Structure 1
Amino acid sequence: MDSLTTYKLQRKVQPNPLPSPPYCKKFEHDETEPPKIKGLEVSDPGKLLLLAESLFNNNTHELEKKLNYYIETETDAETVFVVTLVAISEEAVVQVIGQDVLEVEFRTPIQGQVFMEAISTRCTITKNMADFDLALQNILDQVLTREECKSYEVVTVPVFSKLKKGKVSALPLLVCVVNSSKSQEFITKIITEVYRFCLPVIMNTSKLEEEARIKRQCQSLLHVARKLFSHLGDLSDLLREIMSEARRLTHAERCSLFLLDPDHIHLVAKVFDGVVHDNVSTEVKIAKDQGIAGHVAATGKLLNIKDAYSHPLFFKGIDEATGFRTRNILCFPIRDECGIVGVAQLCNKAQGDFDFFDEEIALAFSIYCGVSIMHSLVYKRLLEAQNRSKLSNELMLYHMKVSSQDVNKVLLCTNRHAYLDYDRFHFSPKRIRESETPCHILRIFDDLKFFEIFHIKRNILTRFVLYVRKGYRDTPYHNWMHAFSVTHFAYAAIKELKLLENGHMTYLEALAYITSCMCHDIDHRGTTNSFQLQSGSLLANLYSSEGSVMEHHHLSQSLCILNTEDCNFLECLGNDEYISCLALIKDMILATDLANHFTLMSQQEEIIKVGFDSSIPEHKYVFICLLMTCADLSDQIKHWEVIKVVAYQIYNEFFHQGDMEKSMGKKPLAMMDRDQASIPDLQIDFLKEICLPAFTTLSQLFPESIKLVNRIKRNIRCWEISKPIFTKMCKKGDQTSLEILNSPEIDEEVQKILVLEKSETHVIDDEEEDYESHLTSTTAAETASVTTEGSKASEVSKATASHVSQASHVSKASHVTEASHVTEASHASKASHVSKASHVSKASHVTEASHASKASHTTGASHVSKASHVSQHSKAHPETDSPEGGGDKETSATSNKESPTENA
């Protein structure tokens, strides 16, 4: 190699014998001297050639190792490392120290003292190692493994490129020589001469790596786009996939996703650490301008935090609660074509801090996120519209359209529909015929002065009521008669608790209360919310994300009917009143979900402590939800005869669902399983755990409703009495649980023990006693009224009794329905048939028809009088008192199904 220094030989320039071509003639007499080539001062050209020959690797790590070794050898240094200056991110990067490739490359802002001085002066500087960044010192300590290394001197030499930025040569890197025995001048010359020939190789290899990185990034983003757009059908799956890909692209440990709500007020987080929670209630809301995520959402700018604990927007409480320590955070906005739709937050890069390239890929990734989220939401709305369309078609096919004749029959009805104590809690609305219920709804609206105050059109309200009645399916329990019973309780509550008079409720709220009770179970399928979710029904697909599947469906169908032509009886309201009324109807119908009631129990207790204030919106909301819950459970405050029939209907519906679950291969709950259910035990638990607390809360707000609590306690006692009989009959195995529940033995035993307990304790329900005595005292007056109407009906019957009561057929369930009075004048007075009785004498009146045996005659019937007077009704059955022969007895689940024409 040493002989190479004498290789140069001087040659005499020979003249060109050929003439110069025309395009070269202008240079023929150019006497400008060629630029002088700067020779080598300290480097061995042979060694440089061998070094240049060895630089064939396609990655900068290997090239730097070879260059470092050469400079270490020539300068007799402890180690050498190259600092690459990345102009686009304004960072100084160290990848290799000596022959060691760092596991995590060292990155620091160029604004560091040593590096900035070398760059600004563009001259070689010598500094002590202690002057360098502390993190770099720690890395050097690990590489050198010597205690005295911190006292070493480091010579930093800037390396210039022949490429220029303006008039200044580019400065792509710095070379640092640690603890060299050579002088600073020698070190500068050796590095300058080495990189004079090797820098282009380094620069081109770096460009190659950059292009390869961009290619990998593009491929990753295309992969991400493919995966994201394959999850558009489910937003939760899409969010989980977004977070998974974000963590993979940036090598982050944890991640969260916040979506901006439609009002652009809150950020809603459903995804934490890449996990989507199935329960909707686990979502977290934060203000748009709160914390790091809120700051990014408000400014729309990416935020890369190297040290989370030193940042003023970082909240340390979450780390303290979870035990997780957040080192660094990369938070970036997610946009669509309309603006920001959310914020993604990544925590703790696996190695080092989030760098410029992480920021770059995060911003590119956010575009795909925004587009996919937007398309997912649009796709979800399309599916919802499709499901709504299917449900609407199903509803329209199932129900018939209400005709004008049906509306006119209700409007032209001349029947008074007067019942004793109709506005009292103890009245059983199941006495009323289903065909009469639309007239009773109009009566309620009349009595509460809704027609007068809101100027509601009767024909429109009537059509709405008939549509709602048709909207209920013929299920054993959740049918129109249940809705009417709930509506009646609401009416009785308004009257007995004086909600309007005392200002506890406005007339608009009362209107919404009555309307919500009518519609609260419309189109009920006879199954629970959990069954809808498990079976994957259309309802579950449509409403599962909102919770309360059936309640949201009831609300939707109510609004659908309200928007039907000539059905919107609320159109008379002003705009603000209309919006408020719809909002109240929504809150009230959704409040019938018992899950919602349980979440409000603590707030109910708080209101009882501080006192109810109707001017406080929170108090009012909790109050109306309590009223709706009590109305929905109001069947349980009636007489034993009523609640036993209600229990029969409920468990008939439950057992039907249990049978469907068995056919699906699933095990139903005990109360849904006809083979396992113990009805008395289930009823006792239901009354104690749900009904009693709800009505106790109501009684604490309104002491006058304590009688409802006492009624529930009495019914609990009834079920306790029936339990031994039920158990005894179940052991025989010859009857089902529903057949046992409907047997007369249970009624006889319950009534016998109740009478005995009353006689021993001398405890009598004051309300029932007053009710029965009032029945006796008012019979004569009612008789006279009916007699007058009967005389107008037929002159032929002048010599006969004042009215003739209709007795319904004796059912196989051993019950006789109440006698109903004939009021119309179009026909001669009717006499209803008693099974196997051939004739009924004039003015026959069957009283005290309590329970019939399976024989053809009616036991316990009072005498049949031929005289013109009517015997008084027995106290044992006050429900038989109806001026028009109004209602069937509530002991049959289907006895109140009448012809639509009977109300006229």
Structure 2
Amino acid sequence: MACPCTWSTRRRSSSFSVRTLRSAARGAPSDTPSVRRGETHPPIPFRYVNAESIPEPGTTVSAYVAYVQDFVCATDILGDPRFPEGIPGVGRLAKSVLCVPALTRDETEVIAIIELYRKVNEEQYTLDEIQMVITMTGWIGAAVQLNNEKLFYLKESELNKYFINLLQLFFNGVVPFDKLVTDIVMFAKKTVGAERGSFYTILGNVVENTNDDILTEVYEEGLDTSQQIFKKKALQRFCKNCPGIAGYAARTGKVIVVEDAYEDERFNKAQDILGFRSRTIISVPIKNSLNVFGVLTLFNKFPRFTQRDEHMLETFASYCLLACQFKRASEDLQKTLHRYNGHNELLVMHVKPCTHDLEAIKNFNVQNLQIPRRYFGFDWFIGNHEKHAIDYVVYSFEYCLGSDFFDRPSLWEFALLARKSYRQNPYHNFAHAFTVFHCAFNIIVKNPKKFTMIEKTGLLIATLLHDSDHFGYTNTFLVMTGNWLAKLYEESCLEHHHIDMCMMFIEITNLFVRIAPEEIQELRRLIEQLILSTDPVSHFKVRGFLANLIKTGAFEWENYEHRLAYMENIMACADLSGQCKPFSVVKQVTASLYKEFYNQGDMEKELGLTPLSMMNREKQKLIPADQIKFLTIICLPMIEILVAVLPNTELLLKMCLDVIERWKMLKDKQEKNLWWPEESHVAL
């Protein structure tokens, strides 16, 4: 017998009570479905009901079934007071009705209803027919749920693609934040069917369950809904006593769903003062495990926001979190940059030379300058001449490069900045910097045609600034103690800092004003490379490369790679040239070095570490042996490479060998108990 059939889908709010027929609820048939729980009702009058009516008793049969979540088999629906509106569109023709719900697998939601009816002159439904319909409904429900889930996942996949593309545009600076917010809220409204939306970004760090007031930037739609961009309104404060729905979501870190705003005491009615009336609300916090960054709020979905809406908006929130974190990180970066610029201005002000030092250039005259007799020899040491160091620096630059290569006032100021940048360390001070600079100067003077103007300039600047603002500790110690400089650079942290100082001074003094732009880039790269090469870690690599070339006769001065490696070796030799002086000078230099080493060793002991012997003041007796080992293994091979290519630097090699012999003599006296403490121990 044919049966007229109406098919409708319904959604039930999770606040309703749950009564299910197990076979229908599981979405699968049962061998012996129970029909005793079905209900029969007397006749009722009929009138048409809106197809969008919500699940509730007192309207239609399908609405009642959706409400109770159980099947109904009514032998005569005419006159039944429990569903007075009967079956929409059928009128008084229907008498016997079989209405069966299809439930989700977890038995919490009605996803569809099968509604069958027979006319007045037709037979009632039998138990076998009821069992068959219930079984079919179970399978139909399973199919509907699987289809809904597939559609949901497809929709979620498209949603993910949309947000990924949108965030890429935002991260690349193509889409501004207010446009991003607009697209997010408008897309959220369209997805869940809401009437209006708001987006709040929280200022500062807010943790869940905070009792403090929360300050936010709010992005809202205007009364003119055709407005294309959500504009940032005035700041809004979520007070702890009257935060509103969005404020509760921000404060608790939980999703807040409101079915009737004016019946919810958490709702702040002042939000509707402009004529908009809030009914249903959902507020989703945008948060990570530590902080709440914002809140997404939607208003007025009919009849209410569902669990699926909540799940969908939580997906929205996860993408919004990335945008909010990026926005906050960008703002923090801008603040940090402004703070850095302020600190940099302060640094420049304090590092600027004194006025009287700058004006001393007026008295500078190369012709009247008294250059020490041995200045053009490797054995000369600045010692008591340090007060004339700036004069010597300017003189040396102009001697190698010519008086017109640099603007003299700029060069003078650059030299003053270099001197002021060195700390009052026992060893890594300006006297050491000048010693290194003087060694490179002499190598260039003795071989003027070997180097280009850029290479001469790079060597002189790099040697003068190679230890600028040295902390007096090794890179290893800075890394071990977590110093900020070690966190700023992954390797060679001190050398990178020296480069930064050097480039800052070049910029302050506009030192390269007379150099062509393309040569400036080349010169900067060379200076960076040369200063980085003073890191002891790189010495062995450069030495091995050059030693192999020289041994095989493959070294070519015209090959820039070979020449650059050789200039790096010059930097290393110049850096250690304080050990290639007359022995009386070497003892002074070594004493200064060990003072600095022992200072670090003392700090390592305080940290519970065991310092190296050369940094342990309790092992001063090992100084001669340590120096012999250091000079033989480190210094001597590099100087031999230097002399192999430029034989006129042989004096450095002779003095290095002489110093080694003097340390050996002290060591022999020490072993034979014929030594004196003041000779064997460096005066510390």
How would you bin the TM-score normalised by the shorter chain? 0.5 to 0.7
Q: Distance in 2 between matches of 1:54 and 1:615?
A: 90
Q: Which moved more, 1:658-667 or 1:483-492?
A: 658-667
- Indicate which of 441, 456, 469 corresponds to 1:491: 441
Answer whether contact 2:475 2:492 (CA < 8 A) is retained: yes
- Indicate which of 533, 536, 540 corresponds to 1:591: 533
1:521 shift after superposition: 1.1
In structure 2, the residue matched to 1:515 is 461
Answer whether contact 1:438 1:462 (CA < 8 A) is retained: yes
Answer whether contact 1:533 1:544 (CA < 8 A) is retained: no
1:480 shift after superposition: 1.0
In structure 1, the residue matched to 2:543 is 601
1:197 shift after superposition: 4.9
Cα distance 1:206–1:697, how it changes in 2: closer, same or farther (>3 A)? same
In structure 2, the residue matched to 1:577 is 519
* 1:473 and 2:423 are equivalent in the alignment: yes
| Runs of at least 5 residues in structure 2 that lack an aligned partner in the other structure | 7-20, 32-131, 162-313
Q: Distance in 1 between matches of 2:585 and 2:420?
A: 24
1:388 shift after superposition: 8.2
- Indicate which of 366, 389, 397 corresponds to 1:437: 389
Per the alignment, in what secondary structure is the counterpart of residue 481 of structure 1? helix
Q: Distance in 2 between matches of 1:694 and 1:370?
A: 54
* 1:668 and 2:621 are equivalent in the alignment: no
Cα distance 1:373–1:533, how it changes in 2: closer, same or farther (>3 A)? farther
**Deviations for 1:544-595, whole angstroms, at most 9, x for unmatched residues?**
33x211111111112222222xx22321111112222222111111211111
In structure 2, the residue matched to 1:741 is 682
**Deviations for 1:629-669, whole angstroms, at most 9, x for unmatched residues?**
11111112212111111101100111122223333444333
- Indicate which of 416, 420, 428 corresponds to 2:369: 416
- Aligned pairs for 1:68-467 (under 5 A) are 197-206=137-146, 393=346, 397=350, 401-403=354-356, 406-408=359-361, 411-412=364-365, 415-425=368-378, 427-431=379-383, 433-452=385-404, 454=405, 456-467=406-417
Cα distance 1:383–1:445, how it changes in 2: closer, same or farther (>3 A)? same
Opposite residue 512 of structure 1, the aligned amino acid is: G
1:205 shift after superposition: 3.5
1:408 shift after superposition: 2.9
- Aligned pairs for 1:723-762 (under 5 A) are 723-726=667-670, 740-742=681-683
In structure 1, the residue matched to 2:191 is none
**Deviations for 1:700-748, whole angstroms, at most 9, x for unmatched residues?**
323444443343222112111112445688999xx7x9993239xxxxx
Cα distance 1:610–1:475, how it changes in 2: closer, same or farther (>3 A)? same
**Deviations for 1:7-43, whole angstroms, at most 9, x for unmatched residues?**
x8xxxxxxxxxxxxxxxxxxxxxxxx98799xxxxxx
* 1:639 and 2:585 are equivalent in the alignment: no
In structure 2, the residue matched to 1:624 is 567
Cα distance 1:367–1:530, how it changes in 2: closer, same or farther (>3 A)? farther
1:598 shift after superposition: 2.7
Q: Indicate the structure (1 or 2) with the bigger Cα radius of gyration.
A: 1
Q: Distance in 2 between matches of 1:660 and 1:442?
A: 39
Q: Distance in 1 between matches of 2:356 and 2:644?
A: 46
- Indicate which of 26, 30, 39 corresponds to 1:57: 26
Q: Distance in 2 between matches of 1:527 and 1:364?
A: 48
Opposite residue 670 of structure 1, the aligned amino acid is: S
Cα distance 1:666–1:575, how it changes in 2: closer, same or farther (>3 A)? same
Opposite residue 422 of structure 1, the aligned amino acid is: Y
In structure 2, the residue matched to 1:769 is none
1:438 shift after superposition: 1.5
Answer whether contact 1:516 1:585 (CA < 8 A) is retained: yes
Opposite residue 672 of structure 1, the aligned amino acid is: M
In structure 2, the residue matched to 1:156 is none
Answer whether contact 1:473 1:523 (CA < 8 A) is retained: yes
In structure 2, the residue matched to 1:687 is 631
Answer whether contact 1:652 1:738 (CA < 8 A) is retained: no
Cα distance 1:430–1:36, how it changes in 2: closer, same or farther (>3 A)? closer
Answer whether contact 1:410 1:438 (CA < 8 A) is retained: no
Cα distance 1:374–1:519, how it changes in 2: closer, same or farther (>3 A)? farther
Q: Distance in 2 between matches of 1:467 and 1:479?
A: 13
* 1:551 and 2:551 are equivalent in the alignment: no
- Aligned pairs for 1:828-847 (under 5 A) are none
Opposite residue 502 of structure 2, the aligned amino acid is: S
Answer whether contact 1:55 1:201 (CA < 8 A) is retained: yes
Opposite residue 462 of structure 1, the aligned amino acid is: W
* 1:532 and 2:478 are equivalent in the alignment: yes
Q: Distance in 1 between matches of 2:682 and 2:440?
A: 29
In structure 2, the residue matched to 1:697 is 641
Answer whether contact 1:486 1:634 (CA < 8 A) is retained: yes
1:431 shift after superposition: 4.2
Cα distance 1:414–1:67, how it changes in 2: closer, same or farther (>3 A)? farther
- Aligned pairs for 1:718-797 (under 5 A) are 718-726=662-670, 740-742=681-683
Cα distance 1:405–1:703, how it changes in 2: closer, same or farther (>3 A)? closer
Q: Distance in 2 between matches of 1:482 and 1:215?
A: 70
1:517 shift after superposition: 0.9
Opposite residue 382 of structure 2, the aligned amino acid is: K
1:510 shift after superposition: 0.2
Answer whether contact 2:433 2:464 (CA < 8 A) is retained: yes
Opposite residue 538 of structure 2, the aligned amino acid is: N
1:444 shift after superposition: 1.4
Per the alignment, in what secondary structure is the counterpart of residue 668 of structure 1? coil
- Aligned pairs for 1:789-868 (under 5 A) are none
Cα distance 1:36–1:591, how it changes in 2: closer, same or farther (>3 A)? closer
State percent identity of aligned pairs: 26
**Deviations for 1:745-767, whole angstroms, at most 9, x for unmatched residues?**
xxxxxxxxxxxxxxxxxxxxxxx
Q: Distance in 2 between matches of 1:611 and 1:642?
A: 37
Cα distance 1:585–1:683, how it changes in 2: closer, same or farther (>3 A)? same
Cα distance 1:493–1:738, how it changes in 2: closer, same or farther (>3 A)? same
1:394 shift after superposition: 6.1
Opposite residue 506 of structure 2, the aligned amino acid is: L
Opposite residue 611 of structure 1, the aligned amino acid is: A
Cα distance 1:671–1:67, how it changes in 2: closer, same or farther (>3 A)? farther
1:487 shift after superposition: 0.8
In structure 1, the residue matched to 2:77 is none
Answer whether contact 1:464 1:568 (CA < 8 A) is retained: no
In structure 2, the residue matched to 1:612 is 555
Q: Distance in 1 between matches of 2:371 and 2:554?
A: 38
Q: Distance in 1 between matches of 2:359 and 2:672?
A: 50
**Deviations for 1:494-544, whole angstroms, at most 9, x for unmatched residues?**
122x1x32xx42011101111111111111121111222233333334x33
Per the alignment, in what secondary structure is the counterpart of residue 617 of structure 2? coil
1:696 shift after superposition: 2.0
Q: Distance in 1 between matches of 2:345 and 2:673?
A: 46
**Deviations for 1:835-875, whole angstroms, at most 9, x for unmatched residues?**
xxxxxxxxxxxxxxxxxxxxxxxxxxxxxxxxxxxxxxxxx
Q: Distance in 1 between matches of 2:505 and 2:515?
A: 17
Q: Distance in 2 between matches of 1:434 and 1:725?
A: 35
Q: Distance in 2 between matches of 1:610 and 1:458?
A: 43
